[in-house]
Amino acid sequence: MMLRQIQHFQTVIQENSFTEAAELCHISQSGISRSIQSLEDEIGAKLIIRKNRSFELTEAGEHFYKKSLIITADLEQLCHETVRIARKDAAELRLGVLSTYSGDQFNRAVAAFSEKYPTVDIKVISGNHEDLYEGLVNDRIDISFHDQRRAFHDAYENLVLTETVCYVEIATHSPLAKLDCVSIEELKNIPCILVASKEQQDEEQRYYRDIIGFKGEFLFAGSLHEARMMVVTGRGIMPVEGVGGESFFGATIKRLPLLRGEAQITRKYCAFWKKDNSGYYVEEFAGILESMF
């Protein structure tokens, strides 16, 4: 009973209205007022001071509101974990995402899916193209979001989501950072930094040399963080996809549009999954991810 009263109290504060909170909670306005009065009586403190059609929180009310959000979040997590333990056959969705993709669509899709299906255990695997491709082939990943490098295969669902533009990240202290954009031809003497394991370095180098067109030296990092540290220290540039503008490193890294000739280089991004693994949650996540673009 007290949990419901707390939820009513939180809704009133969040909506800044007893009337709107009552509608959201599917009870009458007098009912939600009585609920909060009962909560105040039970804890022995005044939480809200009514003023005609408005209200304000007491100091105790502000404290209770902030702490109650933490408690209800913990309780919600506890319930989810309990359900997963009770259901030994709990649903699991294994997602793959390209580590160098800088847009937020994938993260927003994961958040939306988790909100809709809180009992599904989500595992996210981040890696380069070859990591994700091998994960799909070997059934370690259910659905993967990455760029298209191979011709579409009939054994897979190949959902084209977007054609994204390419950028390079460069240290702000580099003379190149003063440019508004940079062409692949102008980078022929600048090392290209790629994220790849030792086993995948040759494949990544072939792709960025033969398909994208980098002609300079290639340097490799084991993680995105390590690669960005190499950029910050001026060892080279790193190709990325997604949104432009400021990067996560703000004043230390600048992101420039990458051109081939006069046009910015583009790449197709898709969701891939095996047709024989086309279950409900896989297709549902694919639909949610598609809606983010």
pLDDT digit string (tens) for 250-292?
688 999 999 998 899 988 889 999 988 777 899 999 999 999 9
Domain that holds residue 152: 92-161+268-291
Which domain-ending residue is among 66, 86, 106?
86
High-pLDDT (> 90) share of the chain, %: 56
13 and 75 inside one domain:
yes
Number of domains in the chain: 3
pTM of the model: 0.58
Are 78 and 104 found together in one domain? no
pLDDT in tens, 10-64: 999 999 988 898 898 889 989 999 999 999 999 999 999 988 778 899 999 999 9
CATH number of the domain that 32 lies in?
Answer: 1.10.10.10
Q: Rounded to the nearest 5°, which phi and psi values hold at 78?
A: -60, -45
Please report where in the chains the tokens 């707390």 appear, as a residue.
6
Q: Are residues 144 and 174 in the same domain?
A: no
Reduce the DSSP state of residue 117 to 3 states and report it.
coil
Rounded to the nearest integer, the mean pLDDT of the chain is 88
Q: Are residues 157 and 273 in the same domain?
A: yes
Asked if 233 and 278 sit in the same domain, the reply is no
Same domain, 143 and 178: no
Please say which residue of 21, 52, 86 terminates a domain.
86
Q: What CA–CA distances, in Å, run from 166 to 27, 96, 225, 246, 288?
A: 52, 20, 19, 14, 24
pLDDT of 83 > 80? The answer is no
Mean pLDDT of 168-182: 92
Same domain, 78 and 141: no
Confidence band, pLDDT 50/70/90 cuts, at residue 122:
very high
Other beta carbons within 10 angstroms of residue 113's beta carbon come to: 20
The CATH code of the domain that includes 110 is 3.40.190.10
